[in-house]
C-alpha cells in the first residue's frame, strides 16, 4: 500500500541519516476504503493525491510544533505491507506498526522556497482553521495553493544538500 507520511525538513534529515522513518504516533495517510467512500467519484490517482494533501496538512502541524523549524511541508511516500486502518480518526488515516526503512521509500514531496512565507503563516494558524476561523482558513489556503515538488529516492541526499 502506498502511504504518505507527514514530516518536516529536520525529520527528513533524520530519515536520511538513520535509514528509517518513525512516523509521529505511527500516523500516515493512504487511499483507504473509507477515503474512497468519502468521495462520490475520482480515480485512484485523484484519491491518492487527496491522501497526500492530508499528509501535507498534517506536516503543517509538525512544522508548528518545531522550534526554529524550516517552513516547508514535507511528505514522504512509501510502499508498505502492514498498516491498520483508522477511519475513526479520519478517512485516510492509517497507523504503522513500526518504522519505515529507506528501502521502502517511493518519493519525497517538499515545498519550494517560495512557499516558505505562506507555510510559516499556515503552520501558525492550523488549529484555528480547523476550528472554523475564516481568516485562518484563508491563510491555510494560501499555503495549500503551493504544489509540492516531487523527488525520487536517489535524489534525497542532493535535495538535503541544497536546503
Question: Where along the chain do its domains lie?
Answer: 2-152
**pLDDT class for 132, splitting at 50, 70, 90?**
very high
**Structure-model confidence comparison of residues 67 and 100, the more confident one:** 100
Q: What percent of the chain has pLDDT over 90?
A: 84
The whole-chain average pLDDT of the chain stands at 94
pLDDT at residue 81 tops 80: yes
- Can you give the pLDDT at residue 39? 86
DSSP for the chain reads -EEEEEE-HHHHHHHHHHSEE--GGGEEEE--HHHHHHSSS--HHHHHHHHHHHHHHHHHHHHHHSTT-----EEEEEE-S-EEE-TTT-TTEEEESSPEEGGGEEEEEE--GGGHHHHHHHHHHHHHHHTT-HHHHHHHHHHHTSPPEEE-GGGHHHHHHH-
Average pLDDT over residues 40-61: 93
Amino acid at each position: 500500500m502506498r502511504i504518505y507520511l507527514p514530516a518536516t525538513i529536520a525529520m527528513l534529515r533524520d530519515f536520511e541519516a538513520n535509514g528509517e522513518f518513525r512516523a509521529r504516533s505511527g500516523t500516515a495517510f493512504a487511499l483507504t476504503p473509507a477515503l474512497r467512500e468519502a468521495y462520490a467519484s475520482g480515480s485512484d490517482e485523484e484519491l491518492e493525491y487527496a491522501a497526500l494533501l492530508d499528509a501535507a496538512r498534517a506536516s503543517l502541524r509538525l512544522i508548528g510544533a518545531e522550534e526554529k523549524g524550516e517552513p516547508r511541508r514535507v511528505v514522504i511516500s512509501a510502499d508498505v505491507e502492514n498498516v491498520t486502518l483508522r477511519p475513526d480518526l479520519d478517512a485516510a488515516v492509517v497507523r504503522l506498526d513500526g518504522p519505515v526503512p529507506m528501502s521502502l521509500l517511493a518519493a519525497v514531496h517538499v515545498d519550494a522556497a517560495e512557499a516558505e512565507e505562506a507555510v510559516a503563516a499556515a503552520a501558525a494558524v492550523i488549529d484555528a482553521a480547523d476550528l472554523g476561523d475564516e481568516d485562518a482558513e484563508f491563510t491555510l489556503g494560501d499555503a495549500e495553493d503551493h504544489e509540492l515538488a516531487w523527488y525520487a529516492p536517489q535524489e534525497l541526499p542532493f535535495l538535503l544538500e541544497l536546503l
